[in-house]
Structure 1
Amino acid sequence: MKVSPRELEGFVRQPPAGLRGVLIYGPDGGKVRETAERIGRSVVTDLSDPFNVTVLSGDEAEADPARVADEAAARSLMGGRRLVRVRDARDRTAEALANAFSGPDTDTLVVVEASDLKAGTGLRKLFEDKRSDLAAIACYADDARDLARVLRDSFEAAGVRVASDANQFLLERLGSDRMATRTELDKLALMVGQGGVLDLETAMEAVGDGAALEIDSLITAAADGRPEGIVSGLDRAFRQGESPIRVLRTAQGYFQRLHLAASRAAEGRNPADAVKSLRPPVFFKAVEAMTRQVARWTPTALAGALARLGQAEIRCKTTGFPDEAECGQALIDVARMALRAGARRAR
């Protein structure tokens, strides 16, 4: 069965009775690991317990399917439930896991971690099919709501208050990997100290994210109608570890705000006032570019750009077309839309 984003928190806090295995996969490796550990702690209190926890790699599972079956069928000698973790699994690990799940039913939970997987492939097919004792959870880059919650919860737990402009800066810079985000937030909390206030200057100084800056440049190029710089910029971002899904979601977030500002400009406000009216406020270094873009685009054209970006995200998740190529083509298409929008406005 698939676990939807709406069901995720309840599922992680209390996995359903009778659950034998759960697959956690996606391009956000940090979120995959964090989710796997949270589910694991619903079974055992100590993930390093040598008696009740077994950790296997995908390679080990594939090389010795009998061991996977034995571990999944074993009962705890110390009392309580057992946890089997299979890290870095791949589609070809599915055969060993299917064999294990065909064995005797025990209260051992098998948690499988994998990177991004195509729909209908071995692992997803095994865990997403109609069996109620197996489940699959997809972990994609945090959207704005998820990231805002992570920031709020982390800083509240550390006793740190955050200035609004610093919070907006972090929302725009973090989120491509959950573990990396938490590492940055922990670092900031230590710098500021309990009871302190995180200001924009400190946040900008501490959070150096070259890939995020590269994405900002790509989105600006697309919104300005400059397709020629997108491919090389995307190559740099991907080499720095960014995922196509993260790039597309960041672009969609930016174009949603641009669409709102353009709609207000269409109602009679001048572009600068339309941009200033956005909440949370636009990061000060991006105000000039967005004001220029509001003057270029119409709300109708922006709706088309958002549709193209959304289509690209769906294709990345559901088809066999290369994700990076689809992401790049979508941004180039949007840049060409910007050129056409500017030409129409100039008439």
Structure 2
Amino acid sequence: MIISRRADVERFLGAPPANIRAAVIHGRDRGGVRERADGLAKKIVERPDDPFDVALLTESDIDSDAARLGDELTAQSMLGGRRLVRVKLTGEKASVDRALSEAMKVHLEGGYNPDAFFLVEAGALGRDSALRKVGEKGEACAVIPCYEDEVGDVARLVRESLAKDKVGLNGEALELFVGRLPHERGVARQEIERLALYLGPGSGAIATPDDLKPYLGVEPESSLADAAQDAFGGKLQAAYQGLRRAAAEGEGGPAAVRAIGLHLARLRRTLSLTRNGAGLAEAAKASGVFWKNEREFLRQARAWSLDHLDLLQPEVLEADRLCKQTGSPDTLIAERLALSIAGRARRLGL
């Protein structure tokens, strides 16, 4: 069965029903996947890192030993009680997906140790994934998709996390800080923890935008976001300079390509919302566009179309893949991508 509504997901993770013996947590937000999987593991077994209670497998373990997964799901806990078999996937290998789906089907039918809990965490699983299909059909399996947090979700995460340290941000400072944060849950939490330390845990401080200036400064992420915006706005020279500035500040090609991908995703979401009837400015705000960038973003949204973005998406994905290869000239790859996008933007009249 699929559990996707936030309230239902939180309810399940807080108290997983006894009749559920498996879960598949997947999505592009790998930090969110890991966070939810860690929380669920703590509910299943008292010591999630204890090898006597927990078997931790990767796709290479499954691919190299066909019987390993079945053996782990059949085994009993060495100390009695429930056993956890946890699989962490980093790729999309068809043979591994097939092996997991077959094991999941047997486990849901009671073919292995009924006290074992089968937990799989993965990237975004497509509709053709055999594992996803088996999990979604199984009444004893929870399939939880993890999407990147919306702006409102990120803002709530910031407020709640800072409140635990008895510090906070006023409205403008919150908007400023959220605009700088990546929507990937794990990275966002690290940045929030850094901010709490800067404000002074327990101090009761409520920071303003001016208070944040020494903390935020001109960070590499800001340079990359500016470069991405300039590229989609057809500003070749400014995009190139922004990438060079970010590289000098310590951010290489992979981060630059990621910033470009995030800007593309914001444009795509904005245009999708407008297609469904939302106003352009309203859609941009819902997509997380910072108010200071709104005018330029709206200018771009009027020129780019979903068809244009669909044609560009494979190029961004390929650049991301190439940047992650050992020894790749990642900075040059990112610059080439940005300049290509800027050229397309100019042809669109930007």
Question: TM-score normalised to the size of structure 1?
Answer: 0.70
Instruction: Please list the CA deviations of residues 3-48 of structure 1 after superposition, one character each: whole Å capped at 9, or x if unmatched.
Output: 3244432332233443232222223221111011111122123322
Mapped to 1, the partners of 2:74 and 2:53 lie a distance apart of 12
Tell me, in whole angstroms, the C-alpha distance in 2 between the residues paired with 1:112 and 1:31: 14
> Are 2:264 and 1:248 equivalent residues in the alignment?
yes
**More moved, 176-185 vs 211-220:** 211-220
Matches within 5 A, 1:183-198: 183-193=190-200, 194=202, 195-198=204-207
1:100 corresponds in structure 2 to 103
The match for 1:8 is 9
> What is residue 267 of structure 1 aligned with on the other side?
none
* Equivalence for 1:120: 128
Cα distance between partner residues in 2 of 1:291 and 1:32:
34
Bigger drift between 182-191 and 98-107 goes to 98-107
How many angstroms does 1:192 deviate by? 1.3
2:34 aligned with 1:57 = no
Separation in 2 of the partners of 1:70 and 1:16? Answer: 25
Distance 2:264 2:24 in 1: 25
Aligned residues: 309
Amino acid at match of 2:121: E
- The residue aligned with 1:324 is 317
SS at structure 2 position matched to 1:339: coil
Choose the corresponding residue for 1:146, options 130, 138, 153: 153
202-211 or 83-92, larger mean C-alpha shift: 202-211
Question: Where in structure 2 are there 5+ consecutive unaligned residues?
Answer: 244-250, 321-336
**C-alpha separation in 2, matches of 1:22 and 1:175:** 27
Structure 1 residue 239 corresponds to structure 2 residue 254: yes
Matching residue's letter, 1:143? E
Output the CA distance in 2 between the equivalents of 1:305 and 1:29: 29
2:330: which partner in 1?
none
8 Å Cα contact 1:141/1:176 also seen in 2: yes
Q: CA deviation at 1:184?
A: 1.1
- Residue pair 1:58, 1:87 contacting (<8 A) in 2 also: yes
Change (3 A) 1:336 1:322: closer
Give the structure 1 partner of residue 188 of structure 2.
181
Give the drift of 1:186. 0.9
Distance change >3 Å, CA 292–CA 57, structure 1 → 2: closer
Shift of the 333–251 alpha-carbon distance from structure 1 to 2, 3 Å rule, reads farther
3-state SS, counterpart of residue 135 of structure 1: strand
In the alignment, the residues of structure 2 paired with residue 153 and residue 262 of structure 1 have an alpha-carbon distance, to the nearest angstrom, of 25
Task: Kindly provide the amino acid, as one letter, of the partner of residue 124 in structure 2.
Answer: D
Partner-residue secondary structure (3-state), 2:229:
helix
Cα distance change on mapping 1:135 and 1:243 into 2, 3 Å? farther
CA contact (8 A) 1:21 1:135 kept: yes
Is 1:218 equivalent to 2:218 in the alignment? no
Unaligned runs of at least 5 residues, structure 1:
264-277, 341-347
Secondary structure at the aligned position of 1:42 is classed as: helix
Give distance in 2, aligned partners of 1:291 and 1:144: 18
Structure 2 counterpart of 1:274: none
State the 1:203 CA deviation: 3.7
Offset at 1:165?
2.5
1: distance between equivalents of 2:153 and 2:283? 26
Query: Counterpart in 2 of 1:260?
Result: 281
1: CA distance, partners of 2:132 / 2:197:
40
Residue 164 of structure 2 aligns with an amino acid whose one-letter code is A
The SS at the match of 1:111 is strand
Q: TM-score, normalised by structure 2?
A: 0.69
Deviates more, 1:3-12 or 1:159-168: 3-12
Q: Give, in angstroms, the shift of residue 134 of structure 1.
A: 2.7
Identity of aligned residues (%): 27
With over 3 angstroms needed to count, the CA separation of the structure-2 counterparts of 1:323 and 1:220, relative to structure 1, is closer
